[in-house]
C-alpha cells in the first residue's frame, strides 16, 4: 500500500494544486488551454523524440512482451471505441473514449512502480510500454480524430487532408524524427539531450495541473464543447475496461504464449506487463480532448476515478504478484 500511495498521491496532489489555482483564479482564465498547448506542442514531443531516438539501440525486450502488452492495449482501445460508436457518438469522441479504456499512465506511475518493485531491470519494460502507449496508441487515435474532423466528399481528399494534418502534428512528427535519427546512427549532443529531457520532464506535471484547472472550471450550460455532455455509463465503461479488462487480457496473452508457444518471459518482463496494463488512465486522452475542442468532462473524470480506484486494485495486484 505504501508503495502504491507513494506513486498515486503526487498525482492527486498535482490535480489538487491545479484545482485550487483554478478556483482562486491564480493562473488566469486562459491557463487551461495554454498549459495544455505547452504539453502538446513542447513537452510531450520532447518525451517522444528522446524515447524514439534510443529505442533501437536499447534492447527492445522479448517479443512476447511487446505482443502481450500491445495486443491487450489495442483490444481494450477497440472495445471502448466500439461501445461509444455503438452509442451513436462521432468518431473523434469515440477515439478519445478508446484512449480512456486503453491508455495507461505509464510515465507517471509505471516507471516509478517498476523501478520500486524490480530495481533497474524494471526500467526497460516500463520505457518500452511507455513508447508503445504514447507513440503507437496515440498515433492511431490521432489518425481517427483527424479522419473524422477532416472529412471531405471524396475519400482521396479526406486522406490527403488527414496526411497533411498528421504531418504537422508534433505528436506524430517527434517520434518519427527520433526514429530517423537513430536509424541514421546519429547521437544527440549532450546539451541538446539535457534540454530535451528537462522539457519532457514537465509533461506529466503540467498535464495533471491542467486537469485540475479544468475540473475547477464551471462550464456555461449554454455551451458545452463537443457533441454530448459527460455520461455516467461511458465513464463506468472506460474505467472498467482500463482497470479490469486490459490487465485480464494481458494475463491471457502471457498465458497463451506460455502454453501454446512455449514462450516464458523473464519475471521482470511478465510481471511488468501485468502491472503496467492495470495502471489507471493517463493524461494523454484529456490533452487530445482539449486540443481538438472535444467534450473533456468525461475523460477528465475517467482519469480521476480510475486513479482513485487504482490505489486498491494496484495494491491487490502487487500483493498477488
Range of the domain at 253: 2-217+229-320
Question: Taking the complete model, does pTM exceed 0.75, yes or no?
Answer: yes
Which pLDDT does position 59 carry in this prediction?
56
Cα–chain-centroid distance for residue 208? Answer: 12
Torsion sign over Cα 29, 31, 33, 34: positive
- The answer to whether residue 162 sits within a structural domain is yes
Question: How many other β-carbons are positioned within 10 Å of the β-carbon of residue 79?
Answer: 18
Residue 225, C-alpha cell as written in the block: 464543447
Count of structural domains, the chain: 1
Which pLDDT does position 227 carry in this prediction?
42
Residue 59, C-alpha cell as written in the block: 534492447
| DSSP 8-state code for residue 279 | S
- The answer to whether residue 262 sits within a structural domain is yes
Q: Are 149 and 142 in contact (CB under 8 A)?
A: no
- The answer to whether residue 222 sits within a structural domain is no
Question: What are residue 104's DSSP bridge partners?
Answer: 281
Residue 99, C-alpha cell as written in the block: 484512449
Which pLDDT does position 83 carry in this prediction?
94
- The answer to whether residue 194 sits within a structural domain is yes
- The answer to whether residue 55 sits within a structural domain is yes
- The answer to whether residue 223 sits within a structural domain is no
Which pLDDT does position 243 carry in this prediction?
95
Q: Residues of the chain whose pLDDT is less than 50?
A: 58, 220-230
- The answer to whether residue 224 sits within a structural domain is no
Q: Are 128 and 272 in contact (CB under 8 A)?
A: no
Span 67-114, pLDDT tens digits: 999 999 999 999 999 999 998 889 999 999 999 999 998 877 887 788
Question: What are residue 281's DSSP bridge partners?
Answer: 104
- Of 272, 307, 248, whose CA–CA distance to 112 is shortest? 272
* Helix ranges (DSSP H) in 103-154: 111-118, 123-131, 138-149
Which pLDDT does position 224 carry in this prediction?
45
CA dist 287 and 89 (Å) reads 19
- Of 226, 212, 216, whose CA–CA distance to 290 is shortest? 226
CATH, residue 27 = 1.20.1530.20
Which pLDDT does position 194 carry in this prediction?
92
- The answer to whether residue 102 sits within a structural domain is yes
> What does R_g of the chain's alpha carbons equal in angstroms?
19
Amino acid at each position: 500500500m505504501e508503495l502504491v500511495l507513494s506513486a498515486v498521491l503526487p498525482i492527486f496532489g498535482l490535480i489538487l494544486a491545479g484545482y485550487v489555482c483554478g478556483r482562486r483564479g491564480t493562473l488566469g482564465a486562459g491557463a487551461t488551454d495554454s498549459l495544455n498547448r505547452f504539453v502538446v506542442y513542447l513537452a510531450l514531443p520532447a518525451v517522444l523524440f528522446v524515447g524514439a531516438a534510443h529505442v533501437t539501440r536499447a534492447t527492445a525486450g522479448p517479443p512476447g512482451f511487446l505482443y502481450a502488452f500491445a495486443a491487450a492495449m489495442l483490444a481494450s482501445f477497440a472495445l471502448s471505441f466500439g461501445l461509444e460508436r455503438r452509442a451513436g457518438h462521432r468518431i473523434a469522441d469515440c477515439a478519445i473514449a478508446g484512449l480512456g479504456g486503453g491508455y495507461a499512465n505509464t510515465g507517471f506511475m509505471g516507471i516509478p512502480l517498476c523501478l520500486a518493485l524490480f530495481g533497474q531491470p524494471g526500467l526497460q519494460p516500463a520505457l518500452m510500454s511507455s513508447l508503445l502507449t504514447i507513440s503507437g496508441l496515440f498515433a492511431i487515435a490521432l489518425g481517427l480524430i483527424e479522419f473524422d474532423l477532416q472529412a471531405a466528399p471524396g475519400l482521396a481528399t479526406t486522406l490527403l487532408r488527414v496526411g497533411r494534418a498528421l504531418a504537422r502534428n508534433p505528436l506524430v512528427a517527434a517520434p518519427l524524427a527520433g526514429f530517423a535519427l537513430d536509424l541514421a546512427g546519429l547521437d544527440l549532443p549532450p546539451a541538446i539531450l539535457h534540454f530535451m529531457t528537462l522539457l519532457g520532464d514537465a509533461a506529466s506535471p503540467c498535464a495533471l495541473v491542467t486537469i485540475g484547472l479544468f475540473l475547477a472550471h464551471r462550464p456555461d450550460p449554454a455551451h458545452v464543447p463537443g457533441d454530448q455532455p459527460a455520461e455516467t455509463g461511458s465513464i463506468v465503461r472506460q474505467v472498467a475496461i482500463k482497470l479490469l479488462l486490459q490487465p485480464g487480457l494481458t494475463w491471457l496473452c502471457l498465458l497463451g504464449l506460455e502454453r501454446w508457444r512455449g514462450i516464458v518471459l523473464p519475471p521482470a518482463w511478465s510481471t511488468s506487463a501485468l502491472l503496467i496494463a492495470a495502471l489507471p488512465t493517463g493524461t494523454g486522452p484529456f490533452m487530445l480532448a482539449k486540443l481538438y475542442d472535444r467534450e473533456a468532462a468525461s475523460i477528465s473524470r475517467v482519469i480521476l476515478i480510475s486513479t482513485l480506484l487504482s490505489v486498491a486494485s494496484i495494491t491487490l495486484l502487487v500483493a498477488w504478484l
